[in-house]
Structure 1
Amino acid sequence: MAGWSCLVTGAGGFLGQKIVRFLLEEKELQEIRALDKFFRPELQEEFSNLKHKIKLTILEGDILDKQCLKKACQGISVVIHTASVIDVVNSIQRETIMNVNLKGTQLLLEACTQANVPIFIYTSSVEVAGPNSYREIVQNGHEEEHRETRWSSAYPYSKKLAEKAVLAADGWTLQDGGTLYTCALRPMYIYGEGSPFLYAQMTEALKNNGILVYNTKLSKANPVYVGNAAWAHILASRALRDPKKAPSIRGQFYYISDNTPHQSYGEFNYTLGKEWGFSLDSSMSLPISLQYWVAFLLELVSFLISPIYKYQPSFTRHLVTLSNSVFTFSYKKAQQDLGYEPLFSWEEAKQKTIQWIGSVVEQHKETLKTKTH
């Protein structure tokens, strides 16, 4: 596909902007369209200052706006769809999450068929696979196990249905008689410089004398560095454009992890933060089974009083399960089919992230100084 063009949705986000930067190095790519609802002014400036031969068009628009999608998809050969509302604590309205994550994906697929876009790559999530129970142990899981989340929480549920829609759309006939090729990538918990989750946890800890509250000792996860998650998307776009590789990739999903050591979320945060004086919460925590039932009671109260009062539980059964499960996956299938190898080693990813956390700490100190003067 000589002289191809690519649309990235969610291009102003944590993962999306990394994908854009990688695309700027791609051969024969003529145009990148970066679509998001909002771009921070400093990112907009950075994008426009990037020295490159490829045309980079910034589009501010809504994933639910059909006209916006029609315009964005015109003349595009590959769509990388990362736009999504991520919410693990149920703080965002269910309707908003379902609309953006599911309806937005369906509208984008329709826009692709009308605009004859032949390739669609979807950023799914490991959460579409579970974990369904904190008692279940999954180590180095793989695609053939066909795991599926049973949670009705808006985020995993919307991502599961959106991924199904994307994979079912493989083979659709385009307006010009061509065929749509699709695939989905399921990254693990993504970390790295700029991570909104890490930022929230570190700033929360800074208000609490540097104590990291998220000390879930029994969980085991394999986080993936943002640079490696972005790189997998580039390889998927190359593979689906390759007539020899495409047939075995179409309609498939892939777990995307890297060589970050498998560890609990608490240990992971401590590894990244200890250099800056962060420490783990050493206070006793409730047994997981008890946390689970307390969460159940809170959800029940929330449901019962919902007609008269909107009560948001501080934690849910889904969050307790997510935070305390042994749930890790291998990237072997992505390695075989996409030629995926992590571009950044654990050491490199760790150093980049630690350095960034240092800047968050400095920023916090500056803010405190300003307040006291």
Structure 2
Amino acid sequence: MATRIRPASKKCTVIGGSGFLGQHMVERLLDKGYSVNVFDMRQGFENERVHFFIGDLCSKKDLLPALQGVNVVFHCASPAPSSDNKELFYRVNYTGTRTVLQACKEAGVQKLVLTSSASVIFEGKDIKNGSEDLPYAKKPIDYYTETKILQEKEVLGANDPANNFVTVAIRPHGIFGPRDPQLVPIMVETAKSGKMKFMIGNGKNLVDFTFVENVVHGHILAAEYLHKDSPLSGKAYHITNDDPIPFWTFISRVLIGLNYEAPKYKIPFVLAYYLAVFLSILVMILSPLVKIKPTFTPMRVALAGTYHYYSCERAKKDMGYKPVVSMDKAVEKTVQSYAHLKKAS
């Protein structure tokens, strides 16, 4: 295993620190004795131990004050994948990341840890225990993923040990946990509207869902093991719960925990996929006349009906990664945190 080097100056900046993952990251870094700057477009939360810098990710002038005297930058700023704003995806994930890299080098930052995504190698077809050696998707499942591929290539390509600037990309998959504004709230809304009665496929497809505390743990380990002579330098690492679970089992456990019915009817995967393709074409034809945002898309069918889970062997070997919260405990903590969304008995 690589040598663990804790930063001499435990001063770091979390870009996107007001978001779901970012807030959890900030809390854990403070627990571990780091001095933390947060750079974001909004403050998002109150904490007197945190130095907040509000600004535009694409502005080096805005970024530089947040990076002074900083040894490590965690870059986890990203628009919600469920958005359909292509311009925003490109601006934040690609243009903004290039600006971050320039600002880091100018400010003398030594390490950059990027929050990437395991989906950069996913094309809507089964991946079982996929390693980081799989090539980037030639046909990414959506434009968000396309820009995450561009982003990861930029960050890993900027790795420059000779000039004391090293980078690593962390690829989580299916992040969930308390305060998540996406997965559980959307699931509950779908159940309330009566659209959670059907499961796609036979219900056996294994998928990685990753508890937010494990994602944070992987990022901090990466920062502490990353240095110019370490194997992490310029590499990507999958970080998951290392416990793949059938997609519909996970969904059902959360819904039942919140007093909603689990999906009970099955739609064959091929039928669901081609139906979603047909609806997408229909929406495209009608788009000049009416604005429709479909929820039943080929991308969502692929995510719900295929195997996609990833190996953490590289992270275990190079930085001693293992999940700090089990899947059972993670689901329990998540359900408890959404007690306010429970269906009245």
On whether the aligned pair clears a TM of 0.5, the verdict is yes
Report what 1:235 is aligned to.
221
Tell me the SS of whatever aligns to 2:31.
coil
Change (3 A) 1:62 1:215: farther
Conserved 8 A contact 1:215-1:267? no
Per the alignment, in what secondary structure is the counterpart of residue 83 of structure 1? coil
Identical aligned pairs, as a percentage?
28
* Mapped partners of 2:295, 2:251: distance in 1: 21
Report Cα offsets for 1:153-200 as digits up to 9, x if no partner: 221101011001100000177xxxx32100000001011112221122
Give the AA of the match of 1:21.
E
1:91-240 equivalence runs, <5 A: 91-130=83-122, 132-134=123-125, 137-148=126-137, 150-151=139-140, 153-171=142-160, 178-196=163-181, 197-208=183-194, 212-213=196-197, 215-216=199-200, 217-240=203-226
Relative distance call for 1:214 and 1:147 in structure 2 (3 A) is farther
1:271 and 2:253 matched: yes
Go from structure 1 to structure 2 and tell me whether the alpha carbon gap of 1:212 and 1:195 turns closer, same or farther (over 3 Å shift).
farther
Q: Secondary structure at the match of 1:272?
A: helix
**Offset of 1:147 from its aligned partner?**
4.7
CA distance in 2: counterparts of 1:92 and 1:272, whole angstroms: 26
Shift in Å, 1:34: 1.1
Structure 1, unpaired ranges of 5+:
49-54, 366-373
Query: 1:103-124, CA deviations, whole angstroms, 9 ceiling, x for partnerless residues?
Result: 1111101111111111111000
Alignment partner of 1:315 is 2:321: no
Measure, in 2, the Cα distance between the counterparts of 1:336 and 1:5.
27
Secondary structure of 1:164's counterpart equals helix
Question: Aligned to 2:27, which of 5, 18, 21?
Answer: 21
Residues 145/326 of structure 1: CA separation in 2 closer, same or farther (3 Å cut): same
Write the distance in 2 (CA, Å) between the matches of 1:21 and 1:78.
Answer: 16
Q: How far is the alpha carbon of 1:33 from its aligned partner?
A: 0.5
The CA distance in 2 between the partners of 1:74 and 1:172, in whole Å, is 20
Would the aligned equivalents of 2:131 and 2:311 in 1 still touch at CA under 8 Å? yes
Aligned length: 335
CA contact (8 A) 2:198 2:265 kept: no
Looking at structure 2, the residues matched to 16 and 127 of structure 1 have their Cα atoms a distance apart, in angstroms, of 20
Q: Is the 8 A contact 2:199 2:266 kept in 1?
A: no
CA distance in 2, matches of 1:318, 1:202: 20
Structure 2 runs not aligned, ≥5 long: 1-6
Q: Is the 8 A contact 1:84 1:100 kept in 2?
A: yes
CA distance, structure 2, for counterparts of residue 67 and residue 155 of structure 1: 26
Rate the CA distance shift 1:284–1:263 in 2: closer, same or farther, 3 A: closer
Q: Is the CA contact 2:121–2:134 (under 8 Å) kept in the aligned structure 1?
A: no
Tell me the SS of whatever aligns to 1:98: helix
Deviation sequence 1:303-338 (CA, Å, 0-9, x none): 455566655444332222122111111211101111
TM-score (norm 1): 0.82
**Secondary structure, aligned partner of 1:109:** helix
Shift of 1:254: 0.5
Asked if structure 2 preserves the Cα contact closer than 8 Å seen for 1:212 and 1:278, the reply is: no
Q: RMSD in angstroms over aligned alpha carbons?
A: 2.4
Distance 1:37 1:346, change over 3 A: same
Tell me the distance in 1 between the aligned counterparts of 2:249 and 2:259. 14
The amino acid of 1:100's aligned partner reads V
